[in-house]
Structure 1
């Protein structure tokens, strides 16, 4: 009993909000936070400056993406297809691709930027990401071979499945 009282008294004497410092890391600077703030919204907020065409993206795709996703975006047993699949979502054999499923072109850019190429994610420059995005969109008939894809043009692209999702009615809580 006395031991319990001693522990309670000792715990009560530590000021609330006092943090233990372990001398690991450092307080986050504005630069640290900016480096982690890489979110891209459907309306294009967060996209960096840059541009690319499918014609430019073809070479990057062949060097960085085709090994997994195939020369024409057809995929294989281990990696998903990127092209095709339109008209299959309401069937028993839905094919989920950029052209059949993804609602926003900005999400394609964001995913390529963050996660691709698989063996070296985040290694592409913004212009390379715009170019590869343009090429993937070209394979799906969404942009032309020489159309410029930029931070301003990509949010305006109408993806085939843009209206295929139900908006989340829950309030945004932060």
Structure 2
């Protein structure tokens, strides 16, 4: 009987120690530490990606012609005048177009044209992460426009096509079928 006593004492100590932690875990975030405020949906919206369906794309639109101007003002320094990228590590951005059919070769070229499966992913990435020096600073119209410019230069859309929340999800990217869909049910919530 005495051999079980230390075990039971240890179990009781662990249970008692966990009680305050469980109570704290159930408190609202702003009450746990005595500071902060609950995040609002509009605050959180910028941290979630746009799914292939386009759900969550903002209002606005843009054309390749408008995008050429946005690109010249915000993107050319890193991605080059012809979207060829600046190949010097730490000094420039990736190549954006070209490389179709290279992914299965010894020298794959991962670009928007050759690799990205959905145009909505391009919008999402540009909106949140570009330009590199001031990410998230482009207006929604500017993002639609620069995306239209990149897609047009890659010969994925026509130069006169208008990109917006309705048209962008319908763009068929060249490597869309190069990916295996994720079959997990929770992932399907985001498509």
Q: TM-score range by the shorter chain?
A: 0.7 to 0.9
Q: Deviation string for 1:85-106 (max 9, x for gaps)?
A: 1121121111110011100000
CA distance in 2 between partners of 1:131 and 1:142 (Å):
14
Distance 1:88 1:12, change over 3 A: closer
Distance 1:23 1:149, change over 3 A: same
Give 3-state SS (helix, strand or coil) of 1:149's partner. Answer: strand
Give 3-state SS (helix, strand or coil) of 1:37's partner. Answer: helix
User: 1:134 — aligned with what?
Assistant: 148
Distance 1:118 1:10, change over 3 A: same
Alignment coverage as a number of residue pairs: 168
The alignment's TM-score, normalised by the length of structure 1, stands at 0.86
CA distance in 1 between partners of 2:153 and 2:169 (Å):
18
The alpha-carbon deviation at position 145 of structure 1 amounts to: 1.8
CA distance in 2 between partners of 1:13 and 1:159 (Å):
53
CA distance in 1 between partners of 2:186 and 2:18 (Å):
38
CA distance in 2 between partners of 1:49 and 1:123 (Å):
16
User: 1:155 — aligned with what?
Assistant: 169
- Which residues of 2 match residues 29-68 of structure 1 at below 5 A? 32-38=40-46, 39-68=49-78
User: 1:17 — aligned with what?
Assistant: 23
Instruction: Give the gaps of 5 or more residues in structure 2.
Output: 1-8
Distance 1:94 1:22, change over 3 A: same
Q: Deviation string for 1:19-60 (max 9, x for gaps)?
A: 4643221233xxx22221233110110100110000000011
Q: Deviation string for 1:58-101 (max 9, x for gaps)?
A: 01101100100001110022321001111211211111100111
Give me the CA root mean square deviation.
Answer: 2.5
Give 3-state SS (helix, strand or coil) of 1:35's partner. Answer: helix
The alignment's TM-score, normalised by the length of structure 2, stands at 0.78
The alpha-carbon deviation at position 14 of structure 1 amounts to: 5.1
Q: Decide which of 159, 165, 179 is 1:165's aligned counterpart.
A: 179
CA distance in 2 between partners of 1:120 and 1:126 (Å):
15
